[in-house]
Structure 1
Amino acid sequence: MKILKWFLWITITTVVLGALTVAGLYLFLKDDLPSVAELKQVQLQTPMQVYSADGELIAQFGEIRRIPLQLDEIPKPLIQAFLATEDQRFYEHFGIDPIGVARAFFLLVSTGEIQGGGSTITQQLARNFYLSFEQTWSRKVKEAFISLRMEKELSKDEILELYLNKITFGHRAHGVGAAAQVYYGKDVKDLTLAQMAMIAGLPKAPSTMNPISNPERAEQRRAVVLGRMLAEGFITDSQYRQALAEPIATKLHGAEVTMDAPYLAEMVRAEMVNRYGEEMAYTSGFKVYITANAKQQRAAQQAVRLNLHGYDERHGYRGPEQVLWPADAEPWTAEAINQHLQTQENIGLTEPAVVVEVAGQQATVQLSNGRLGRLEWSALAWARPYLHADRQGPAPQQAADVLKVGEQVRVRQTEQGWRLAQIPEPSAAIIALRPQDGGIAAAVGGYSFSVSQYNRAIQAKRQAGSNIKPFIYSAALENGFTLATLVNDAPINQWNPGSGIAWRPRNSPDVYEGPIRVRQGLAKSKNVVSVRLLRALGVDTTVEYLTRFGFAIDELPRNESLSLGSASMTPLEVARGYAVFANGGYLVNPYFIERIEDSQGEILYSARPAVACVLCESGEREVLPAPQVITEQNAFLITQGLQSAVWGGGSWQHRTGWNGTAWRVQQSKPLIKRAGRNVVGKTGTTNDVKDTWFSGYVSGLVTTAWVGFDNLERALGSTTMNENLSSAEQPISGTEAGAKTALPMWIDFMEVAVQDVPVEPFIVPPGLVSARIDLATGKLSRANDYTSRFEYFLPGTAPSEYAKGETNRDIFAEDDSIF
């Protein structure tokens, strides 16, 4: 009895002391424990994701990659794999597993050190959220207290869901959703049993047991997980053996980006960091929806890339990137070639390849992963030697004239097969806006973001060339000129006493027609007409007027070169200016973020852009009106002039027909075949062809295209026809220009983009009158034939005289100084 009494006293004392110890430890550590509110509102660090307007993922930003999932979104076998391996009694214990604790205590007694193991899923979650991974008594005690509190405040399913979304799997993947994407490029629901087992085995040692860093250890760990699942009865023996035999086939996958728009994505990233700071922007799980849709953005990127390849091909082949072995050396093995190609990156549309055979008019190249590609003669015939920007060598006759075995080159995939390629040397940009509110419909800032992150669409200030002329003409119409006013298209020779030289602006081409109507001057892009208009208005008046279109006054030169486009502007600034003509006279502010959502889908920000007041007057929704900077009538008249740039005028039957500089638009059936669709635009080319532009619009979409070299000293040059190619295969030759270099890119984009733009004609606004004029004099006409046309005028500006007899072609002899 004495022994029993002593045993009871010792037991009671031990229990009381243990309870007091636990209570003391709790009081000592309670300030370091998380609050109930923290447990109920756990915030998982998730990356920022950027989506197109139609919901396609274009980018993900943040070191931690996580795809939060609800428990019912995670496949049952994957959950069972974790339970079998990490905590088979998860749904029975209270956060601490006595059996696991006993096992850990035995390890402590037998080794004298605190060992791993014994931790439940709840304890692992507590450690991941709030503690370090150091093996100390204090950490283990805190872990236990936090686990007990978690079990009290959260349900088992809530704890398991947090655990599966929180734990680390290596390669910056956190949570099972991200692990499935990183290792297999799949959604969790699409994983095989073997892949689920692999993922479930990673938390034990994510950096050293993952299938990318250590496939052997990963396979061993997978076998352990499958064995535990079999032992727990979660899988059958047949499933076990089948999964065990599945090969370790994995590679590192990026985010599941479904639309490649890196320049737009970078614009969003910079804006979000500016708004929220780096840490919050990259970890708060923001979902950012942009104004661009996937279809138009893809079309813009494709147009930029294909047209730069077109430029590069007509200017000649610059040779291989490197020679891997000389002609008299032993050829590399296919394995050696493949190992080398693994170190080379794909750029834009191009892939690196090595020439392994050349015969007659074809060649064979080896691509990465041992693939072979055949280059037919149609893929090689373009490759005349590049000599310089204005000269190409003779057209090749055989494949050996272009390629040699052992050379590393680039190829690109086309509908006809592989084609010899090279990374284009010039740069290009496209920016498209919705003119009603300024929403960016597409933006591409260069050929390849991996080569250059410089976004030329919004950052490159380049001389605008003739793209500036519509703004000059708009100022003229505001100050008394009409589309029928005659201006002298004659050479200008102005002596400058200060410089001691004469200024002689010239047309391009160097052709002069004498007095022509303002409509013709704009459509034909007559340089001297633009200069005479600016002289009539005055430089200061013109500069002040151009600021209405959003151009900074201190960036507009105060001299007559302004009329020829000496001002430097970004493509975005140019497109914004053209949007004023497209929307009826309103200056909108470009924007690219439509809305921002938090990780729970709550809207934090929704764009409220200022819109063209045509929408305001509809009464359908409350909107912020954009300022009206020119009249609706002025905008319509400029649109009329730009329409003539596309369609020209006169009568080809009577040999008076003429083309505007944008006549190539007529050849685009997708753009002009829809009844009621009006397409207008303006070319632009600077001195020495260093910048080429095309800006144009339909009702509902404005687009500016630019092509040039980043090096301001380099000109785009000229080409001759390649005798190997037909005119259809090489439709462009001669000196590069806005109409040849930038316009084809604009057409390629717009042919796709307008498919999502409603067909609406440009409506004649109220307040304009129409009168039939004589085409030669701009005066009223009674004729009803090819010598006349109807023209639009502001009230009181229509001519009052009728044309009589022959026109005096020396009409400006006495007042040439005015014009």
Structure 2
Amino acid sequence: MKPSKKAAKGNEEQPKKKKKKFSSPYAQFTFAVVKTVLVILISLGCVFAGILGGAVFGYVKNAPPITPDQLDITKLTSFIYDKDENEIAQIKGSENRVLVEHSEIPDNMRNAFIAIEDARFRTHNGMDIKRFIGAAVEYIITFGNASYGGSTITQQLVKNITGNEESTIKRKVQEAWQAIALEKVLSKDQILDNYMNRITTGSGVYGVQAAAKKFFNKDVQDLSLAECACIAGVTKSPGLFDPTLGEKNLERNKVRQEIILSEMLKQNYISQNEYEEAVAEQLKFYQPVEEETKVSKNVQSYFVDYVLTQVKKDLMKKYNLSSDAASIKIYNSGLKIYTTQDSNIQKIMTEEFTNIKNFPVNEKISNPTMQAQGAMIVIDPANGQIRGMYGQYGNKEVSFALNRATDMQRQAGSSFKPIAVYAPAIDMGLITPGTVVDDVPVYMDNTKPTTPYPTNAESGTYQGLITIRKAITKSQNVVAAQVFRDYLKPENSIKYLKKVNIDRPNEGYISMALGGLKDGVNPLIMAAAFVPFVNQGMYIEPISYTKVTDDKGNVLLDRKQEQKSNVAYKETTAFLMTSMMRDVVTGGTASGYGTVKNKSGKVIPTAGKTGTTEDYKDKWFVGYSPYYVGATWYGYNTPKSLKKAEWSEALLLWNKVMNRIHTNLEVKEFNPAPEGIVSKAICIDSGKLPGPYCSSDPRGNRIKTEYFAKGTEPTDICDVHILAKVDKSSKDIYGRPLLAGPYCPPNLVEERVFIKRPVPYLPKDPSNKSLSTQILDWMYEISQGEYCTIHNASTWQPSTPSNTNNKPSGSTGNQGTLPPEQISEELPDGGMDVIP
């Protein structure tokens, strides 16, 4: 029997029957969609991965390598030291940074940074995979706003080196690759040291050494564990964690410090006891004093300003640097500049020039720049090294302000005479200290032939016949002008000025001899020019620093080796000038305030020269001891006549500074008379050897002992003092007795010693009776050729032959009985009786 079709069909389909995966059409559709999406995503992923891989490859390929030059830290703080190598200033560019070596960084500092910044620093290859992936995932999830830090210390170092702060995938990829490459050439310690010398703690302070100074005024090697953790906590965000910026910051810093200490404990860098002690330690943050605050604000002293200008100039010259390049080297290269400053002297000068009692302040003037000003330089004459300077009255408010001690140009007045006139003329053998010049009115201004020029501004009178020694002591302008014009000549003055580094080829006029310069001078120029008088005639270029080294100790500039010196004068000239200028402080224009004493009250020898310019607009004193030369100026920024109360201010300032400088110094004499110095007794009215009447001058004994350079001493006998018979009852218009004539009664005739000028002085106006007070020796001069106007032939009475005492002056034994006409024949000279 055949099976039915249905059964047959069932039998046929039974082997083909399959198990269905989804029980509903919806499930089938969902599966189909997911499968399609997955295929698309996988495809896109492959494409994205390819693109990403290509991008990463491109980033890595284009990543610039870190070069050895980049590893060198160039933005370093430079240091300035005084002559005893005490630090007096730090010079910072945009960054305050002080490099420290590996051995100077304590392990606690090193481990604090590792614990908080990069726990696996010692084991990774520059990139911490775990942290990098975590940071990448957060970056994707937050769409680029991740706060999770994935950078290792090595990566942070790369960022500090490159300065690349971009928040991009490219920068992160390149940074990681550069970090891996860097780890292949540097050890872990080298990387960590470089990092710690670069980190910032705010306010322009970079590196752990500068931070240690900033917060605790310590070297980094002296920090405690708690202090190390404090500094490590600041670097995250100095604006938030700098503990010196307020109470909130202090609290935040303490919290972060404890987190760092906790991490150090967890990572076994410290023990539990160390942790607890560090947490409990009360940190004492450094508070700079006022002067240090000024330094931190870059308010440098006048000395530091001047040193920096000199170092810059010398760097430019020696290394052919531009001005900018030299500045960068100074402010960013960690230079060590060793100056000549004596900090004790500088402190004294600063105190005196900021003392309001030393400057008569006008309360009506609100602008301090319009007040009286002053400046001073002190130099060691043995080596030309500047020991101190101050450039104004009052506190210095800004760096590189006008330094009147080194930068101004003012006329020097009579303080210029020793270097422009007297020393050159003595050195050339043209004058001696005993040379006599007639200090009388002269007329050297061709435009005003009837007006006396120059006049003696400081004394206001004329001395008459006067030695060079006394002319310097009294500061007589007329004598200096005559020596300049008639003995020295302008061209020789200019030549000698150049020897003391004052080059004025176009100033060879009379006023230059008196310090009336077209291009003025300053205390530095003047102090340096006086150094040869202390230093046996040797001029030494003044220097403010001795050497400059780089941060590794290599000498860049050796100023002592390059310092210039030359013979300005003979040793005998220096001795003679000092001998004369000692009289200036003992009995001349600087008497009293030119004297210096030590703390025992003993006088230390000094010498010097005052200076006053036209209309009293500037006052100077350049003085020196065997120890120091000091030059002081006093005046106003805009020149104006000083009040009489201010005329001694320059000398007073000098005196106050120099007395304090010498307080602990022993009495020391100037150099003894060198070979070639001789002494001679001379008449101070002729400059010649004494004659028979020099000791009988009505003013007293005129014989003095004077020093001479051998070969310049006088050999002639005085011919200025003469003995003459005068009628004391007969006077000329000035009140001087007239010569006795043959008719003068013997009881009115007497012999007196007078002076007779070698070159008669003929006043422009002989009737000017004030000559007797203007020219101080005018009353002691014989009225040559003028005889008694009272007694004549009509008044003459013959005497008896026995009365020989009643003879006319100059008569012979029998002239008393002769008639007048015979007497005049016997005495053709008119009866003058003068004994030379």
Amino acid in structure 2 at the alignment position of 1:664 = G
Give, in angstroms, the shift of residue 708 of structure 1. 0.9
Greater Cα shift, 444-453 or 489-498: 489-498
Greater Cα shift, 758-767 or 702-711: 758-767
**SS of the counterpart of 2:598?**
helix
Give, in angstroms, the shift of residue 563 of structure 1. 2.8
Of residues 417, 420, 425, the one that matches 1:469 is 417
Superposed CA deviations along residues 39-58 of structure 1, whole A, max 9, x for unmatched, are 7x523410332222222333
Amino acid in structure 2 at the alignment position of 1:68 = L
> Which residues of 2 match residues 195-594 of structure 1 at below 5 A?
196-211=228-243, 215-217=247-249, 219-233=251-265, 234=270, 236=273, 238-239=276-277, 242=280, 254=293, 262-274=301-313, 275=316, 276=321, 277=325, 278-306=327-355, 309-312=357-360, 317-318=363-364, 425-447=371-393, 448-450=395-397, 453-471=401-419, 472-477=421-426, 478-492=428-442, 496-497=446-447, 501-503=451-453, 505-537=455-487, 538-554=489-505, 556=507, 558-567=508-517, 568-594=520-546
Cross-structure match for 2:793: none
**SS of the counterpart of 1:288?**
strand
Amino acid in structure 2 at the alignment position of 1:791 = E
Greater Cα shift, 281-290 or 251-260: 251-260
Counterparts in 2 of 1:678 and 1:504: CA distance versus 1, 3 Å: closer
**SS of the counterpart of 1:460?**
coil
Counterparts in 2 of 1:610 and 1:211: CA distance versus 1, 3 Å: closer
Superposed CA deviations along residues 176-231 of structure 1, whole A, max 9, x for unmatched, are 22223344555445666665444222222234543455752563254033123124
Greater Cα shift, 490-499 or 459-468: 490-499
Amino acid in structure 2 at the alignment position of 1:697 = Y
Asked if residue 642 in structure 1 is aligned to residue 581 in structure 2, the reply is: yes
Contact 1:182–1:254 (Cα < 8 Å) also in 2:
no
Asked if residue 691 in structure 1 is aligned to residue 691 in structure 2, the reply is: no
Amino acid in structure 2 at the alignment position of 1:547 = K
Across the aligned residues of Structure 1 and Structure 2, the Cα RMSD in angstroms comes to 3.9
Counterparts in 2 of 1:559 and 1:26: CA distance versus 1, 3 Å: closer
Corresponding residue pairs, total: 653
C-alpha separation in 1, matches of 2:386 and 2:756? 48
Amino acid in structure 1 at the alignment position of 2:397 = S
> Which residues of 2 match residues 584-733 of structure 1 at below 5 A?
584-608=536-560, 626-647=565-586, 659-665=587-593, 667-670=595-598, 678-712=605-639, 714-719=640-645
Of residues 701, 711, 725, the one that matches 1:796 is 711
Of residues 131, 151, 159, the one that matches 1:127 is 159
C-alpha separation in 2, matches of 1:486 and 1:770? 17
C-alpha separation in 2, matches of 1:299 and 1:250? 25
C-alpha separation in 1, matches of 2:711 and 2:761? 24
Amino acid in structure 1 at the alignment position of 2:618 = D
C-alpha separation in 1, matches of 2:178 and 2:451? 86
Asked if residue 29 in structure 1 is aligned to residue 65 in structure 2, the reply is: no
Amino acid in structure 1 at the alignment position of 2:577 = I
Asked if residue 745 in structure 1 is aligned to residue 653 in structure 2, the reply is: yes
Cross-structure match for 1:118: 150
Percent identical: 27
C-alpha separation in 1, matches of 2:382 and 2:372? 32
Give, in angstroms, the shift of residue 671 of structure 1. 9.0
Give, in angstroms, the shift of residue 20 of structure 1. 8.8
C-alpha separation in 2, matches of 1:249 and 1:772? 70
Cross-structure match for 2:34: none
- Which structure 2 residue ranges, 5 or more long, are not aligned? 1-45, 724-752, 764-774, 776-836
Cross-structure match for 2:114: 83
Cross-structure match for 1:51: 81
Of residues 75, 93, 97, the one that matches 2:124 is 93
**SS of the counterpart of 1:458?**
coil
Give, in angstroms, the shift of residue 555 of structure 1. 5.5
Contact 1:468–1:564 (Cα < 8 Å) also in 2:
yes
Contact 1:773–1:779 (Cα < 8 Å) also in 2:
yes
C-alpha separation in 1, matches of 2:153 and 2:335? 28
Amino acid in structure 2 at the alignment position of 1:632 = E
Amino acid in structure 1 at the alignment position of 2:414 = S
**SS of the counterpart of 1:45?**
coil
Query: Rg larger in 1 or in 2?
Result: 2
Superposed CA deviations along residues 394-437 of structure 1, whole A, max 9, x for unmatched, are xxxxxxxxxxxxxxxxxxxxxxxxxxxx9992111112233344
Counterparts in 2 of 1:758 and 1:287: CA distance versus 1, 3 Å: farther
Cross-structure match for 2:171: 139
Counterparts in 2 of 1:645 and 1:241: CA distance versus 1, 3 Å: same
C-alpha separation in 1, matches of 2:294 and 2:173? 38
Give, in angstroms, the shift of residue 297 of structure 1. 2.2
Counterparts in 2 of 1:318 and 1:196: CA distance versus 1, 3 Å: farther
Counterparts in 2 of 1:757 and 1:69: CA distance versus 1, 3 Å: farther
**SS of the counterpart of 1:427?**
strand
Counterparts in 2 of 1:249 and 1:106: CA distance versus 1, 3 Å: farther
Cross-structure match for 1:358: none
Counterparts in 2 of 1:427 and 1:191: CA distance versus 1, 3 Å: farther
Contact 1:181–1:254 (Cα < 8 Å) also in 2:
no
Cross-structure match for 1:346: none
Amino acid in structure 2 at the alignment position of 1:642 = M
Counterparts in 2 of 1:72 and 1:539: CA distance versus 1, 3 Å: closer
Superposed CA deviations along residues 337-392 of structure 1, whole A, max 9, x for unmatched, are xxxxxxxxxxxxxxxxxxxxxxxxxxxxxxxxxxxxxxxxxxxxxxxxxxxxxxxx
Counterparts in 2 of 1:189 and 1:718: CA distance versus 1, 3 Å: farther
Give, in angstroms, the shift of residue 522 of structure 1. 0.7
C-alpha separation in 2, matches of 1:747 and 1:291? 22
Counterparts in 2 of 1:286 and 1:786: CA distance versus 1, 3 Å: farther
C-alpha separation in 1, matches of 2:247 and 2:528? 54
Give, in angstroms, the shift of residue 238 of structure 1. 4.0
Counterparts in 2 of 1:699 and 1:72: CA distance versus 1, 3 Å: same
Counterparts in 2 of 1:63 and 1:103: CA distance versus 1, 3 Å: same
C-alpha separation in 2, matches of 1:563 and 1:248? 61
C-alpha separation in 1, matches of 2:448 and 2:685? 39
> Which residues of 2 match residues 168-207 of structure 1 at below 5 A?
168-188=200-220, 196-207=228-239
C-alpha separation in 2, matches of 1:590 and 1:758? 25
C-alpha separation in 1, matches of 2:440 and 2:304? 49
**SS of the counterpart of 2:156?**
helix
Superposed CA deviations along residues 448-506 of structure 1, whole A, max 9, x for unmatched, are 33168001111111110110111211233225211112222334466745587553513
C-alpha separation in 1, matches of 2:159 and 2:644? 67
Give, in angstroms, the shift of residue 594 of structure 1. 1.2
Contact 2:352–2:358 (Cα < 8 Å) also in 1:
no
Contact 1:57–1:256 (Cα < 8 Å) also in 2:
no
Q: Which TM-score applies when normalising by structure 2?
A: 0.70
Instruction: Specify which structure has the bigger relative contact order, considering alpha-carbon pairs within 8 angstroms and separated by 6 or more residues.
Output: 1
C-alpha separation in 2, matches of 1:495 and 1:203? 75
- Which structure 1 residue ranges, 5 or more long, are not aligned? 1-12, 323-421, 612-623, 648-658, 720-735
C-alpha separation in 2, matches of 1:531 and 1:494? 9
Counterparts in 2 of 1:534 and 1:108: CA distance versus 1, 3 Å: closer
Counterparts in 2 of 1:267 and 1:578: CA distance versus 1, 3 Å: same
